[in-house]
Amino acid sequence: MAEKTVFSVTQLNKYVKDLLENDELLYLVSVRGEISNFNDHLRTGNYYFSLKDDGGVLKGVMFSNFKNKLNFKPENGMKVVITGRITVYVRDGSYQIQAYTMEPDGIGSLYLAFEQLKKNLEAKGYFDPAHKKPIPKFPQTVGIITSPTGAAIRDMINVATRRFLPAKLVLFPCLVQGEGAPAQLCSGVRFFNDRHPVDVIIIGRGGGSLEELWAFNDERLADEIFRSRVPVISAVGHETDFSISDFVADLRAPTPSAAAELCLPDGSDLVRRLASARGHLDALMRAKLDAAAARLDGLKKNRYLVSLQSVIDDRRMEIMELSRRLENGEKTILENKRLRLSGAMQRLSALDPMKIMSRGYAAVFDGETVVDSAEKLSVGSKVTLRLRDGRASAKIEEVELKKEGSPKKQTKRRTQPAPEKNEE
């Protein structure tokens, strides 16, 4: 037997790598499967994933330079068709597919990207009616963001000329399809917000395929429209075409010419309405003038204007009557007060202690306090007697008390010392 060749692990892995990577079939191969273990690696910017079906699993990687060309973001469970080449990772002894392109299986990548962006912006509230700004009824200046050579601008100029001549149209010329279109469309929105203020903005283009209308599905443009201080009307494609800008804008028009119709009032209709309003105003003025004339005729017949002297005489009589009533009222009030004062004086006179004293009574005072009971007196104490015409001092020699309900009398006497005997 020939001597067997013994490989190291690394040598064998390199040998297998050379075999697989130099196979013409595996150098550029397309594989269908379902994405799992998806990882958007932040540090490297690469996509790492597994591609599986009912019978097996294949590891995969998509480097950032290829990843940035995708119109959608892969997700776990998404069925895709990947085109790339088979490579071997020598260290792990594993092989993988290095993806160059990735397409959704059974659905276009652009449509999938459209649905993903729509779902994301809707979750952020970009489509919420609460954020929609009203379109002015009579805009004086309209900013238009579109191609200067397309049919859209000609249609809008025709509509504006026919409907509302006073409106001024300002065009921001830009690309409406291709790689540089989204950036120019965003510049147009900023231009009309910051550098050339207008009353309303129309952004759009004529019809086309999904690829041709794709600039209006850009997330950067959606942000600019959402942040715009000026109301925005989106008019992209035909009536059946829908774009992200349609959902974010304050108003969606099915076509560019329809946008001009919605934005500008009908001048002929305004003339008719103004004529009608003028006729109505004339009728109101005539009615008011007729009413004023009738009122003036009534005033001419008023007695105040016909005979002013009679009015003055009537007022003089009223004043005299009021003066008489006022004088009588004053007399009545004074008489009532005089009677009340006389009654009060009589009551006060009846309560006057001096009246009582004039009949021989006197008031007894102990200092400044009135003595109203014999119990407050004691033998030997001094009191003051106030009479009608003066006062006198007295000394209590005897106090006689009388208890209520008892006929007996109690007498307090001062005890006199016994006279001394003369021994002589």
- pLDDT tens readout for residues 113-164: 888 889 999 999 999 999 999 999 999 999 999 999 988 999 999 999 998 8
pLDDT of residue 55: 86
pLDDT confidence of residue 41? 87
Closest CA to 213 of 241, 188, 187: 241
pLDDT in tens, 245-304: 999 999 999 999 999 999 999 888 887 888 888 889 988 999 999 899 888 887 777 766
The pLDDT confidence band at residue 104, using thresholds 50, 70 and 90, is confident
Quick one: pLDDT at residue 1? 46
Cβ atoms < 10 Å from Cβ of 201: 26
Cβ pair 167, 193 in contact under 8 A: no
SS3 call for 302: coil
Residue 198 has pLDDT above 90, yes or no: yes
Q: What is the DSSP string of 325-364?
A: HHHHHHHHHHHHHHHHHHHHHHHHHHT-HHHHHTTT--EE
pLDDT digits (tens, 9 = 90+) for 26-42: 888 889 888 889 999 88
pLDDT(377) > 90: no
Whether residue 91 is predicted with pLDDT greater than 50 in this model: the reply is: yes
**Which CATH number fits the domain 139-265, given the four candidates 3.40.50.10550, 1.10.10.10, 3.90.79.10, 3.30.70.100?**
3.40.50.10550
Mean pLDDT calculated for residue range 373-402 = 85
Residue 388 contacts residue 356 (beta carbons within 8 Å): no
pLDDT at 410 over 50: no
Helix (H) or strand (E) holding 17: helix 9-21
pTM over 0.85: no
Residue 407 has pLDDT above 70, yes or no: no
More reliable by pLDDT, 318 or 232: 232
Q: Sorting pLDDT into bands at 50, 70 and 90, what band is 305?
A: low
| Domain 9-107 classification at class level | mainly beta
Q: Give the domain ranges of the chain.
A: 9-107, 139-265, 305-334, 363-412
